Chains A and B, each alone.
Chain A
Amino acid sequence: MTTATQTCPECDGPVNVGDTVRASEVIECPECRSELEVVATAPLLLALAPEVEEDWGE
């Protein structure tokens, strides 16, 4: 698996993202622990993930 390095939109730290990642997947910034959503994969784009809503769950 190859990885691409992106910049965390919250702390500017480096975030390694594997090539198996899918759009709408949430990953964690290793530096600031922010939850980041993969908004797009080609090209790779990260954004702060939405906050958990009251009716979220299983």
Chain B
Amino acid sequence: MVSSTAPRTALLASRMRFEEKRLLEALDRRGVPCTTIDTRTVQHHLHDTPPPWDLVLNREISATKALYAALTYESAGVTVVNSATAIETCGDKWRTSLALRAAGIPAPPAALALTAQAAEEAAEEIGYPVVLKPLVGSWGRRVALLPDAAALRTVLEYSEALPSPLAQLAYLQGYVDKPDRDIRVIVVGGAPIGAMYRRSDGWRTNVARGATTTACPLTDDLAKLAATAARETGADLAGVDLVEDADGGLQVLEVNHGVEFKGFQEAHEGRVDVAEVIVERLVLGTDRGTGRGVDA
């Protein structure tokens, strides 16, 4: 049965991953008609009439294309999840750091350096080992844990050879001596729906790099921090990554605007259906969340 109250919905993607398939299935179960837009076909002229959708689920895998598609659809009065503002903030690690800092959210020390020389000085101040990350990027790609100035200098030489001016800026983060895990909390429509541990043999705990996932109890502290981080970065749908520091405190590492939830779904199978919650909260608006998600 077709829902009569649902917004006219489209899903924007150029790659149909687990997440996009689950979302389309959830929309179908709820009787929400959904147009699938292949991002590679998008073109929009200034004189065009607005597209025929009220809501676009922005699942484009390229941060750049996701941002410009969001800007385009928003200018035509369409609600886009996640929005251009959220992508601009979450898609850039320095902008994320600035937003978290402004909101008083605990996070590792971080610095932006505009040249390699400045990066070496900034790293000295943070202290080694230091983590060097590309401003834009995901899945732990080109993220380096550097033990000393010589290693940093070597990596910076490679960065300087990259063609993109953005790639030559150095984002540095203090290394948090964490357990062999970090924590991902998924926040939908302002309320966390659950948490998972991500464990890895290496220091990078990205699921895309083979980290394993298990359910994590969603404590009040976790829920509050994750919800605040999502709100302050403008993300209606967010994957908030946190680490436990040596004192047992929590620090927010980053907020992902194009959250992948296959690992989370596997860790919580039978307890929560992420795609269903997204459709309920962000498409149908029938469940704005209670502020508490599932417990492990």
Complex Cα distance, B15 from A22, in Å, reads: 10
Q: Is the CB of A54 within 8 A of B137?
A: yes
B214 proximal to A (CB < 8 A):
no
| A55 in complex: contacting residue of B21, B36, B64, B239, CB < 8 Å | B64
What residue in chain B is nearest A55 (Cβ atoms)?
B63
Complex Cα distance, B139 from A37, in Å, reads: 20
Q: Is the CB of A57 within 8 A of B139?
A: yes
Q: Is the CB of A54 within 8 A of B136?
A: yes
Which one of B244-252, B256-264, B270-278 contacts A?
Answer: B256-264
In whole Å, how far is B140's beta carbon from the nearest beta carbon of chain A? 9
Q: Is the CB of A56 within 8 A of B62?
A: yes
Q: Is the CB of A58 within 8 A of B137?
A: no
A-B contact count (CB 8 A): 59
B200 proximal to A (CB < 8 A):
no
B79 proximal to A (CB < 8 A):
no
Complex Cα distance, B281 from A29, in Å, reads: 37
A23 proximal to B (CB < 8 A):
yes
Q: Which residues of B contact A54 (CB under 8 A)?
A: 134, 136-137, 141, 164, 167
Interface residues in A1-58 (C-beta closer than 8 Å to B): 22-26, 37-38, 53-58
Some 13 contacts from A to B, beta carbons below 8 A apart, are A22-B36, A23-B16, A24-B38, A25-B15, A26-B15, A54-B141, A54-B164, A55-B62, A57-B258, A58-B138, A58-B139, A58-B257, A58-B259
Q: Which residues of A contact B24 (CB under 8 A)?
A: 22
Chain A proximity mask over B35-48: 1 for CB below 8 Å, otherwise 0: 01010000000000
Complex Cα distance, B16 from A6, in Å, reads: 19
In whole Å, how far is B183's beta carbon from the nearest beta carbon of chain A? 16
In whole Å, how far is A26's beta carbon from the nearest beta carbon of chain B? 6
Q: Which residues of B contact A23 (CB under 8 A)?
A: 16, 36, 38
Interface residues in B161-206 (C-beta closer than 8 Å to A): 164, 167
Q: Is the CB of A22 within 8 A of B136?
A: no
Besides A23-B38, A25-B21, A57-B137, 18 new A-B residue pairs in contact (Cβ under 8 A), listed by A number:
A22-B16, A22-B21, A22-B24, A23-B16, A24-B13, A25-B16, A26-B15, A53-B62, A55-B64, A56-B61, A56-B138, A57-B141, A57-B258, A58-B138, A58-B208, A58-B256, A58-B259, A58-B260
Q: Which residues of A contact B64 (CB under 8 A)?
A: 55
What residue in chain A is nearest B142 (Cβ atoms)?
A54
